[in-house]
Copies of this chain bind each other. A is one copy, B any other.
Amino acid sequence: MATMPSGHGRATILDVARAAQVSRQTVSNALKHPERVRPDTLERVHAEIDRLDYRPSTAATSLRGQRAGAVGMELTGLGAHALSDALAPFLVSLTIAAPEHDCHIVTFGSDGPDPTLQRYREMWRSRLVDAFVIMDTHHGDPRPAWLLERDIPFASFGRVWDDPSFTSWADVDGRNGVAGAVDHLVSQGYSRIGYLGWPQGSLVGDERRNGWAEAVTRHGQTHQGPEGNTIQDLAKAMAAAEPLVDDVGIGGAIACASDVLALGVTQVLLRRGLVPGRDVGVVGFDGSETARTHDLTSVAQPYRSIASQLLTQVHNQLTTQRRPDHGLMFEPTLLPRASTLRQSSAPHPQEKS
């Protein structure tokens, strides 16, 4: 293979043109409008493209096309430099889906929680990104309004609390998810089915809780059964789980609003010498690594579909200048594991990665 014609690095369109004995233009056409170029020329050009390992420069294409071809994703750090349980897998899905949507993902974030909008502003005005994907919007989240004010394209993983009229979102049907989990518990033969959720007042939390209430009623459980709630913290979850475990008893089960809460239940069982699954069923929510590690049955979020959908939405916003008519709801998938297996005690089950 010959050394690179121009400079010492990556070939440019001009290098290819010279090598293929055509004009720059023909090379560009060969890539973007192959029908405009004669077959034999096309072949020759492609041969040189392959030989020189040519790809159009992102910077040049961006400048020319007035689009960065990038989507910004904020890494919201919890305290230290940690990612929320859902953020990591979602980011991976987004990253992997990006090339199929002709873009790439640029991450950003700040140390303190303070100047979060500043970073969005910086990304936007330097034209580093064409759009944003946001997630974990909470009540009073300043981001949606800020982005809307400036006509900055974005899509949200999760409905936007403060603005029901905002339609560019994709979310998971938590109600159905938990209801399905309850159905699963019933089919596995667990009798009394309790629920450990988050404090009332969050859209997501209330929805999941309703899924449990509905399913449990549907299955004829009277008084809906034992219920508790606490914030997303293992120690707190363990404390809240104690009375619930007492209540459902051996042969009962507990559905939870998250994997962390489910883990709390598991720890309580462990401490009492009980085996999750065999003695008491436990189901979490999120399909996180935590659940996998502890072999907990969980309701898994369809991160890949959501990532793909959100990228489609921002792409449409960029090309058509308008948002979708409505948001999109996805169904989660139950991931059955040892914590809902009554048959075997399965103290150390294995799972293929």
A interface list, Cβ under 8 A from B: 10, 53-60, 62-63, 68, 70, 75, 77-83, 88-93, 95-96, 98-99, 104-111, 121-122, 124-128, 234-236, 238-239, 260, 263, 267, 270-271, 273, 289-290, 292-295, 303-304, 348-350, 352-353
Q: Is the CB of B10 within 8 A of A124?
A: yes
The 10 closest A-B pairs by CB, nearest first: A59-B62, A79-B353, A235-B348, A81-B92, A55-B126, A59-B63, A95-B107, A81-B89, A55-B125, A83-B88
Listed A/B pairs (20) with beta-carbon separation below 8 Å: A10-B127, A55-B125, A57-B127, A58-B126, A59-B63, A60-B63, A63-B63, A80-B292, A80-B353, A81-B93, A83-B88, A95-B108, A96-B110, A98-B108, A235-B349, A235-B350, A236-B348, A238-B348, A263-B293, A270-B270
Q: Is the CB of A83 within 8 A of B92?
A: yes
Q: Give A253 Cβ to nearest chain B Cβ, in Å.
A: 20
Residues on B with beta carbons closer than 8 Å to the beta carbon of A55? 122, 125-127
Residues on B with beta carbons closer than 8 Å to the beta carbon of A89? 80-83
Q: Give A87 Cβ to nearest chain B Cβ, in Å.
A: 8
Residues on B with beta carbons closer than 8 Å to the beta carbon of A105? 106-107
Nearest-neighbor residue (CB-CB) of A272 within chain B: B273
Q: Is the CB of B270 within 8 A of A81?
A: no
Instruction: Contacts A99-B108, A99-B122 known; list 14 others, CB within 8 Å.
Output: A10-B125, A53-B125, A55-B127, A57-B126, A59-B68, A59-B127, A77-B92, A81-B90, A83-B91, A95-B109, A96-B111, A105-B106, A260-B293, A290-B293
The answer, among B63, B68, B91, for a CB contact under 8 Å with A107, is B91
Bound-state Cα–Cα, A126 to B293, Å = 38
Bound-state Cα–Cα, A63 to B304, Å = 33
Q: Is the CB of A353 within 8 A of B10?
A: no
Residues on B with beta carbons closer than 8 Å to the beta carbon of A104? 106-108, 128
Q: Give A349 Cβ to nearest chain B Cβ, in Å.
A: 7
Residues on B with beta carbons closer than 8 Å to the beta carbon of A99? 108, 122
Bound-state Cα–Cα, A353 to B81, Å = 11
Bound-state Cα–Cα, A108 to B99, Å = 9
Q: Give A320 Cβ to nearest chain B Cβ, in Å.
A: 16
Residues on B with beta carbons closer than 8 Å to the beta carbon of A91? 75, 83, 107
Bound-state Cα–Cα, A78 to B293, Å = 12
Q: Give A27 Cβ to nearest chain B Cβ, in Å.
A: 15
Q: Give A82 Cβ to nearest chain B Cβ, in Å.
A: 5
Bound-state Cα–Cα, A58 to B122, Å = 11
Q: Is the CB of A109 within 8 A of B92?
A: yes
Bound-state Cα–Cα, A104 to B83, Å = 18
Q: Give A315 Cβ to nearest chain B Cβ, in Å.
A: 18
Residues on B with beta carbons closer than 8 Å to the beta carbon of A348? 235-236, 238-239
